[in-house]
Amino acid sequence: MEEKIKAFGYVRVSGKSQLTGNGFDRQEDTINAYAEKAGYQIVRVFKEEAVSGTKGEADRPAFQDMMSEILRNGVRTVIIEGLDRLAREYRIQETLLIYMASKGVTLLSARTEEDVTEAIQSDPMRKALVQIQGIFAELEKNLLVKKLRKAREQVRIAKGKCEGRKGYAESEQHEALLKRIKELRRKKPMQKRMTYQKVAERLNEEGYKTASGRLFTAMIVANLLRD
């Protein structure tokens, strides 16, 4: 048996009154019927609740969640009941279609059984817009990477390190160790200052370990105080 292609469903109702009506149910029934016929498996349906068809991507939380999920996993197909459920205003509809196409998403209309993405790609002007959108998306990503790299380099220059796990010298354990060494080295009345060797022996007795898990030596204690 041929494995079905995984897809997301996207449904939208524009008014709160439709939330309790058959708006969502009708759309999902149409989407599921088409998916069964065309060999798709709907793995999740994203519901845009009480969002006008004139609203863009920024005002569509379910659309944003769906695109975020798409960019994280292997699902690259979205099925809608019809283009009017994506958006009613042509300008918004076009913007969303081009954005999805630039991300490699195939959009299918269950009502007309049309591959909307393919229709976009067959139109030279719309295809150019998709390519431009993709170029700017890639440019934005590259600029962000460059910006983050520059910031990391500045931090590294200022602090000597930047990424990854904190070094032992930055940890709370290190601070506690230095405090204990200084306590042991502090000269007490009528007594000689404890030697580095004696400090190392006391630390070992008390269960302290170096960053690499070894026992302390006089040289290690001296270097820690010097740093």
Please report, for the domain that includes residue 62, its CATH number. Answer: 3.40.50.1390
Per the prediction, the chain carries an average pLDDT of 79
Same domain, 196 and 160: no
Same domain, 17 and 36: yes
| Residue bearing the bigger pLDDT, 78 or 137 | 78
Same domain, 33 and 102: yes
Handedness of CA 34, 37, 39, 42 (dihedral sign): positive
Same domain, 19 and 104: yes
Same domain, 9 and 113: yes
Handedness of CA 204, 206, 207, 213 (dihedral sign): negative
Domain boundaries, position 137 = 124-164
| Contact in structure between 57 and 64 (CB atoms under 8 Å) | yes
Same domain, 128 and 179: no
Residue 168 has pLDDT above 80, yes or no: no
What's the mean pLDDT in 141-150? 64
Same domain, 110 and 135: no
Which of 122, 156, 184 is the last residue before a domain boundary? Answer: 122
Task: Report the pLDDT value the prediction gives residue 11, as an integer from 0 to 100.
Answer: 94
Same domain, 153 and 98: no
Same domain, 84 and 55: yes
* Residue 49's pLDDT band (cuts 50, 70, 90): confident
Same domain, 9 and 72: yes
Write out the two tokens for 159.
């602090």
- C-alpha to C-alpha distances, 54 to 7, 22, 23, 117, nearest whole angstrom: 25, 21, 17, 21
pTM above 0.75, yes or no: no
Same domain, 89 and 179: no
Q: What total of structural domains would you count in the chain?
A: 3
> Percentage of residues in the chain with pLDDT exceeding 90?
19
| Residue bearing the bigger pLDDT, 72 or 55 | 72
Could you tell me whether strands 106-109 and 114-115 are parallel, antiparallel, or unpaired per DSSP bridges?
A: antiparallel
Same domain, 118 and 132: no
What's the mean pLDDT in 47-67? 81
Q: Phi and psi (nearest 5°) for 52?
A: -65, 150
Task: Report the pLDDT value the prediction gives residue 73, as an integer from 0 to 100.
Answer: 81
What's the mean pLDDT in 81-104? 84
